Structures are given as C-alpha cells and as structure tokens.
Chain A
C-alpha cells in the first residue's frame, strides 16, 4: 500500500553537513507534496511543502527539489544541526486532504 517510496531508512550526518532524503511516487493524481518532521514521543509536524509546478522551494536551511517527469522529490537540509535529529516523512496529497506518507527516514546529526 506504500504509495510513496522513501529512502534512506536511516541517515547519519556530521554537524554542518548536508542531509538528503529522497522520495518517489507513481500516482500522477498527487498534487501537493509536504514534508513532515517528527521528534520522539511527538506527532509529526509540517516542515515544508511544494506544488508539482515548482521545481524547488527553500525555507531557511530546508530545500525541496521536485522532478515532475521523474516523479521524484527530495529534501535537503543544509548545515545540519544536532537539533535536526528526528524522523522525516515525505508525503503526497490528492483530493485536497487525502495524504499518504513515505516510510520515514531517521536522521541523526552527530556533533
């Protein structure tokens, strides 16, 4: 049932490095692509999102790159910090609110 495939499952990055998480989808009905961040013991929270008519969106150290023809999108975290250590989920949305998540990536940023 995994409609959105996410990789890697886990990622370890040194402080100051770039974290890259990739996602792919098949259903062309998806029309919005959010990323969620989840800290231990908490529910996921929206981090950043992109529409398929935009190839890149940047908010601070977080950037989404989107390749519509390849049906792939990725999250880049620049200058990664230990406080960024969390689980990240990509998601895809259609019918305005029907949202499907990837399996998640556990990011650890070492000091």
Chain B
C-alpha cells in the first residue's frame, strides 16, 4: 500500500477563494482524521470519521470549514471562503479499530492564503 495520500502537497490561494484538500486513506482502514498543524497551536484534530460517518467535528474552527467522506477511499476538507489565518499544514491520517493509537499520516498539504 502506498500509505495515506494527500493532494495537493502545496496550495497557495488568495483570500476569499475556495480551497479543497483531498485524502485517500489506507485501504481497509475505517477511521479517517483531519489535523491542522501550526507553530502556535501544534497538531489540532479538526474532525474524524468512522466508516465514512463523521463522529466528532468539534475541532472544526468555524462554518467556513467542511469535510466529507463520500466513500471509504476518499475524503475532502473544504475551506470557503479561505482567510490568511487558515494558513497551516493540513494532515490526513487513517487508522483502524484496535490500532492502539497507531495512526498513519499522509505527507500533509501546506496551505498558504495570501
């Protein structure tokens, strides 16, 4: 397996534009997580899914953020409209029941909003 695949690796966009980040989890994993990493706040859990169903989205900063998982092999995180303070590295990770804390992270998407 190629691991968790995220795209794009880098995204530069103008304030007010819509941004869509994509993630393909490891096949067979039934948990998918979206994290945001910044220097100030470290790794923050935004939302996670179990069997494609959102379980906890309390970390989503505001209504501008939305996440979907239409099937077991694909998820998106959308920001609309984007703001400069959304600039961060966004990680997708996948795991499975009984993994005991072992989550497999993608390479991340570095988002810059200018």
Chain A interface residues toward B at CB < 8 A: 1-2, 6, 32-34, 41-46, 49, 89, 91, 93, 96-104
Of the A-B pairs whose beta carbons lie under 8 Å apart in the complex, a sample of 25, sorted by A's number, is A2-B42, A32-B101, A34-B102, A41-B107, A42-B108, A43-B4, A43-B105, A43-B107, A44-B43, A44-B91, A49-B101, A97-B31, A97-B48, A97-B95, A97-B97, A97-B99, A98-B45, A98-B48, A100-B45, A101-B44, A101-B45, A102-B42, A103-B42, A103-B43, A104-B43
In the complex the two chains form, is A45's CB within 8 Å of B43's CB? no
Q: How big is the B interface, by class?
A: 20 to 34
A49 to B93, CA, bound (A): 17
A49 to B106, CA, bound (A): 20
Residue of B4, B42, B48, B100 near A101 (CB, 8 A) is B42
In the complex the two chains form, is A1's CB within 8 Å of B59's CB? yes
